[in-house]
Amino acid sequence: MTHTFDPTVLREYDIRGIIGETLGPDDARAIGRCFGSMLAEAGGSKVAVGYDGRVSSPMLEHALVEGLTASGMDVVRVGMGPTPMLYYAEASAADVDGGIQITGSHNPANYNGFKMVFQGRPFFGADIQELGRRSAAGEWVDGAGKVEEREVLEAYIDRMLDALAGIEGAALDSLRVGWDAGNGAAGPALEKLAARLPGEHHLLYTEVDGNFPNHHPDPTVEANLADLRALVAEKSLDFGIAFDGDGDRIGAIDGEGRVIWGDQLLMIYAEDLLARREGATIIADVKASRALFDHVAAHGGSPLMWKTGHSLIKSKMKETGSPLAGEMSGHVFFADEYYGYDDALYAGVRLIAASARLGKSVTELRGAMPPMVNTPEMRFQVDESRKFAAVDEIAARVAASDAVADSTDGVRVTTDDGWWLLRASNTQDVLVARAESDSQKGLDRLVAQIDEQLALSGLERGPQAGH
């Protein structure tokens, strides 16, 4: 018996497709068979499985468990919850060797997918390609694993609350925070967490609904923060926090309704952490503001720019021993007093902790950041066969000039008054561009440089591509 996946579903960081078109129960079963076989060969015997609130998730979970047990894996079913709850189940249990979360993350309601952990490390890139190869060849082992159900939600909440240990004072008790779960999988966990946090908490859309009736659960799109912004204004709250569909990405606004973007949140977390861990390496992706890297250095840290992608960032953290990393997309990774994975609920608790320890409100911390003028992330369609080649051509031209450039992930050119970036997406047939300056005039000039480089490679920044 063999199984061939639709070529579009085996992505760089996860497996993802459209239910009934490119992804279904047969795919889930094959993923279980192959992942289980690979884990068995590496000496593993038990896998934790969780799923998000999408309509298709229970069906895929059932088939995945069938595939895992057929490869001899014992399965720990942790039920419906956010992706970081599954990560917690894998990281905290001595008897668990791997984990799979069924989730469509922030994609439209008809999407779903799988995020995987293999013996404590991300399972991505070459691992996913090998899983696809094995499936097509029918290279899997046979066995008969057992299934158990394990309640982890209460322990997960307890573990997150450890972030507030040792912080005293009226500042915590007087805190007033808004939260928006976006009808995603984090809702029930958020209700339990908020009930145990100090201060006053106002919650939106905690009922899990895979059709996302109120707004799309992607907190990096400012329009999706409108309800949270209205709640913060109406109740005069200190700040607001929003989650994506599976609870591993955070969005935030301050008490004045200003968005606190991923790199700006990292500035707050870094300032708090570096007061206790001087010299620590703080990692951010190539899309992050120069203000962040300057802020880390100013507070005695060692800033490191790295490739975009949650799996790539996690791997770099392990390699460098970094206690904190983040991405513009709202993935924040705490290895400081935590496990090193991206957890938006925990990041929310750490924002409360950082504000209390620094003795400043989140609004004050946001207001102190240098005013920068930047573009949103611009994504435009480029033929799959052309996207990496075009970036290589642009990088070569930039290298031949006297520009200051970094080629960690695509090409990022730094000027006296800002920077611009062009990189190829690992998951779609798009190029991603971004620019930032300390003035609108500077930004216009930098965007013109991007357009000039694209034109030299026969491309243009045409229609914007979505996620």
CA–CA separation, 226 vs 4, rounded Å? 42
CA distance 431 to 423: 6
Catalytic annotation, pick one of 71, 105, 289, 329: 105
355 catalytic? Reply is no
SS3 call for 175: coil
Angle at 437 between CA 364 and CA 389, to 5 degrees: 125
- Distance from C-alpha of 391 to C-alpha of 389, rounded to nearest angstrom: 5
- CA–CA separation, 466 vs 195, rounded Å? 36
The 10 Å Cβ neighbour count of residue 376 is 13
- The residue behind tokens 């082992």 is 141
Q: Which H or E run includes 304?
A: strand 302-306
Distance CA 465, CA 431 (A): 9
Which residue do the tokens 């840290």 mark?
A: 301
Phi-psi category of 410—alpha, beta or left, where left has phi over 0 and alpha has psi -120 to 50? Answer: left
| Kind plus residue range of the DSSP H or E element containing 147 | strand 147-149
Instruction: State the number of CA atoms in the 13 A half-sphere of 100 facing the CB.
Output: 34
Among residues 262, 266, 241, the alpha carbon closest in space to that of 345 is found at 241
What is the DSSP track for 264-286? Answer: HHHHHHHHHHHTTSTT-EEEEET
Tokens read off for 459? 């491309």
Q: Residue 336 and residue 322: Cα distance in Å, rounded?
A: 8
Residues with active-site annotation:
105
